[in-house]
Amino acid sequence: MNRTRWTFLIIVGLAFLIVLVALVFRLARSERQAASPQPGETLEVRVLAALPVEPWVTAAAKAFNAEDHTLEGRPIRVTVIPMDGLAALGKWDREEYFLLRDRDRDTLSPEELEQLATFPTVWIPDSRYLVELVNAAYKEKLGRDVFLTDGEYRARPLVISLLAWGVYSSRAEVLEAAFGELNWQTIHDAATAKGGWVEIGQKANWPDTKSLQEWGFFKLAVPHPRKNVGGLAAMIAAAGEYYNRPNISVDDVTNPDFQTWLAETLGAVTDFSAASQPGESLALFGYTTGDVAQLLESDLLVNMAGIQNRWPDPLVIRYPRYVTWFDFPFTVWMGPETTAMEKNAALEFEKYLLSKEVQTQALAYGLRPVHPDVPVDSGDSLFVRWQEQGAATFVQRSTAMRSPDREVLLALLRWFDLNVAGR
C-alpha cells in the first residue's frame, strides 16, 4: 500500500473519530440540559424550618403554592422540611448536603445531580447565632460566605418568640410564697428540697399540707438539649441568672460550682426523653410531665387550650429576668448549589411570609410578628386570648441574653452528655 493511500485512510479515520467525539459530546450535553431546569419548568424552593415556626411556615407555603406564584414565567413551588435548629446545624457541620465546591454542574453524574436536587434553598433556624456558626465554619472551608448579613439576600427575622416559664397556678402560688420571683434559683431551691412540696410549703407557711403531699417531689420540664434548641438555650439562661449577667463564657460553664448547681437543678427533670417537646407533653400528661416548664412562649400558648381542657389547674406564664430571644431568620443559601433563579424564587416566598396578612396569621401560632403594622393584640391573637394567664403583649424585661459562641455550646452539651443525659 503506497504512502498516498495510507494518508487517505488516516485522514478518514481522524474525521470519523472527530465525528464520533462530537456525537458523544452532543449526547452528553443533551442529557445535562434535560437534567437542568429549563424555561417554564418549576422553580423548587426547599425550606428547612425550625420546629416552632414550621406549622406557620407550612400553612403559608400551602397557600403560596395554591396561588400559583411565578418568576419570569416559571411557577414556584415551596417545600417545607421540619427540622430542629441543632439537627440542621449538625447536618451542615457534617456536610450532609452535597457541595459543588469547584466543580461545574455540567460535570456532575446523574446520581450527583439527584443529590444536588435536595439541597436546601432556605434555612429558617431558631436563632440568628446558628446561622453565624454555620457561616463561620463554611467560610473557613470554602473561603467565602454562604449566608449573608447584608444586601438583598441577607438573613431577615420572620417572627420572634422567647423563653418563658409555664407553671400550674396552684404550684405558682406556693413557689412564689416560698421563694418570691419565679427564676432559676427558685427552681434550684425547689429541686433540692428533700421533702418535696411539703418542705416547699413549710417555707411558704402553706396550710393545705394534704395537697402538697399528693404533689410529691418538685418536677421540672425543659426540652432535651440535644433534640431541641430550647433545651440548650434554657441551660444558657440558667447560667445567666446564676452569674447575674447576660454574657456567658466557657470558663463560666466549666466552673465546678456552677456545674454542681446546674446538675442539682436539672435533677428535677424526671424524663428528658419525654421532654423533647414539653409543651405538648404538659397538655397531654399534665403534672406528671412537670410542675414548671421553661420553653418557648409560642409552645406554651399553642398548648394552653389543651392544658385548660384536660386539667383543672390552669397554666400561668411568667417571664424570666434575662430574656432569651428567638428571631427565626429567613436565610438564603448563597453557594452555587442553588441557581440564581431559585434564590430569587426564595425571596418571593420571603416577601410572602413578611406580608401583613401572613404576619397576622402568625399570632394564631403564638408567634410575635416583625411587621411594624401588625400589633401583637390584633387578629386571632393567642396573646389576647391567654392574657389572664399571664401572656404579655409587651415584654417588660429589658435585658437580653447574648448569643453563645460555638465553644460555649459544645462545652455545655459535652457536660450534659456526661452528667445528665445518661442518668
Q: What is the DSSP string of 165-196?
A: EEEEHHHHHHHHHHHSS-SHHHHHHHHT-TTH
Please state, in angstroms and rounded to a whole number, the distance separating the CA atoms of residues 90 and 128: 16
189 and 123 in a common domain? no
In a domain, 11, yes or no: no
Q: Say whether pTM exceeds 0.85.
A: yes
Rounded mean pLDDT for each run of 10 residues along the chain, 423 residues in total: 56 55 48 47 96 97 97 97 94 94 89 92 96 94 93 96 96 95 96 96 91 94 90 95 96 97 94 67 87 94 91 92 95 96 98 98 97 93 95 88 92 92 68
SS (H, E, C) 373-386: CCCCCCCCCHHHHC
| Residues 171 and 238 placed together within one structural domain of the fold | yes
Q: Residues 171, 219: one domain?
A: yes
CA atoms within 13 Å, Cβ hemisphere of 393: 13
Are residue 181 and residue 274 in the same domain, yes or no? yes
Residue 3 within a domain:
no
Q: Which has the closest alpha carbon to 89: 128, 58, 46?
A: 128
Single-letter amino acid, residue 171: R
Q: What is the pLDDT of residue 274?
A: 54
Domain that holds residue 170: 161-324+388-421
CATH number for the domain spanning 72: value is 3.40.190.10
List 80's β-bridge partners, or say none.
Answer: 47
Distance between CA atoms of residues 224 and 357, nearest Å: 34
Q: Are residues 333 and 318 in the same domain?
A: no
Q: How many CB atoms lie within 10 A of CB 126?
A: 26
Question: Could you tell me if 193 and 132 lie in one domain?
Answer: no
The answer to the question of residue 235 being in a domain is yes
Please indicate, yes or no, whether residues 276 and 405 belong to a single structural domain of this protein: yes
Residue 57 within any structural domain of the chain: yes
Q: How many structural domains comprise the chain?
A: 2
Claim to verify: residue 301 and residue 341 sit in the same structural domain: no
Q: Are residues 284 and 413 in the same domain?
A: yes
Residue among 389, 393, 397, 390 at smallest CA distance from 381: 393
H helices of 36-167, in order, are 54-66, 85-93, 110-116, 128-142
Q: Partners of 44 in the beta sheet?
A: 77
pLDDT value of residue 20: 54
Query: Do 61 and 202 share a domain, yes or no?
Result: no
Residues 125 and 201 in one domain: no
Looking at the domain assignment, is residue 208 inside a domain? yes
CA distances from 365 to 36, 152, 353, 382 (A): 38, 28, 14, 7
Same domain as 106, residue 185: no
> Is residue 75 assigned to a domain?
yes
